[in-house]
Amino acid sequence: MADLNVRKQQILRAIIVEYVIGAEPVSSELVASKYDLGVRSATIRNEMAEITDLGLLEQPHTSAGRIPSDFGYRYFVDNIAEPIRLRAAERQQISDSMDEEEPLRELLQATTTALSRVTHLLSMATTLQNGSIVVRNAVLTSLGNNRALLVLILDTGATDNRFLELPINTTNEDVYQANALLAASLVGRPLKDLLRWKPATGIKPQVEAILKRVANTIRTAARELTKLQVVTEGEEFILAQPEFQRDVEAMQRVLAALEEGEELKQLVAQANVREITIGRENDKENLRALAIVRQSLYIGQDRIGTLAIVGPTRMDYMRVRALLDMAARGIAQTLGRGVGPSSASNG
């Protein structure tokens, strides 16, 4: 890792701030005029050349100013950047997306929508592929007209709601008996056990008929809940970024990453990776024009998934990190089970 003195760090920070805002190469004259560094533009130009030689800046054209390299962003994130306080309007937008009545997937959808609108970047959320998640409760509610709602409540705090048809002439007493049998056979069992769950036999025929229909619904729910669940919002924002608009090759790689999708989803979902990966730090070729900022989602001390912002490497990393941290805390609190480890503070 390059070792920059204070002035070089100030110059690198100024260039990153200006490039994030303007998406244009930053000149020494701009840095000298906007930042009180106590030296003239010629000195700043020499310092910029030295920082470029260290690999932290790049010069896209001979006569142009400088832009940060992936290495420069990494140095900034690890050594220069400081946590920020979010604006009141940003905090309000995230808070407004939290609804205690919503199940986990709908809560994640609302949160990713809010994050995407605040950042004008792609927002993603994933939940864990975890067959060991335990059913805390299972309730069947008759809605009338032979319709019912099955609610599975998991030990992560998530709920899964499924509508189904009941047999003709089902009574409230039949539903009551079915619920008693569901509680006895499902509560405390992991989702992986439900993939082949069948109801007991030798019971009242009408109740058995109900449970056979419930069993089909439960097996479908178990298959879906043990798959990687991904919510995305804001693809249009990432494609509108100016660096992709003027670089056809970069745009094609980003389009390929979004259309294929699986590599990006898996990279976001991984637990044992850096919180922030920048450009070439992403292994796959199509992802090397992007930066990914992740925040693990916790309920209590249990990790249930990941929240992420994906955008160009020209990203306001500290603001994005603070937004994700606030959103993750809000999700944990909305689900009513506290919050796990935190990596940033939004003030």
**Measured between alpha carbons, how far is residue 25 from residues 142, 150, 301, 345 in Å?**
64, 57, 44, 31
Question: Token pair 């998640």 is at which residue?
Answer: 133
Top pLDDT among 302 and 133 is at 133
- Binned at pLDDT 50, 70 and 90, residue 110 comes out as very high
Answer whether 291's CB lies under 8 Å from 73's CB. yes
pLDDT (average), residues 18-24? 95
Q: Which residues, in sequence order, are CB contacts of 27 under 8 Å at separation 6+?
A: 41, 64, 65
* CA distance linking residue 319 with residue 337, whole number of Å: 26
User: Is the pLDDT confidence value at 335 over 80?
Assistant: no
Closest CA to 110 of 344, 334, 278, 288: 334
List phi, psi (to 5°) of 63.
-100, 0
pLDDT value, residue 100: 65
User: Is the pLDDT confidence value at 311 over 90?
Assistant: yes
User: Is the pLDDT confidence value at 339 over 50?
Assistant: no
Top pLDDT among 293 and 132 is at 293
Q: Which residues, in sequence order, are CB contacts of 107 under 8 Å at separation 6+?
A: 98, 99, 331, 334, 335
* CA distance linking residue 5 with residue 36, whole number of Å: 16
At 85, list the tokens: 């306080």
Closest CA to 161 of 203, 221, 219: 221
User: Is the pLDDT confidence value at 254 over 80?
Assistant: yes
* CA distance linking residue 119 with residue 98, whole number of Å: 17
Answer whether 307's CB lies under 8 Å from 297's CB. yes
- Binned at pLDDT 50, 70 and 90, residue 27 comes out as very high
pLDDT value, residue 344: 42
* CA distance linking residue 233 with residue 120, whole number of Å: 10
For 50-62, the pLDDT digits (tens) are 999 999 999 987 6
* CA distance linking residue 172 with residue 142, whole number of Å: 7
- Binned at pLDDT 50, 70 and 90, residue 314 comes out as very high
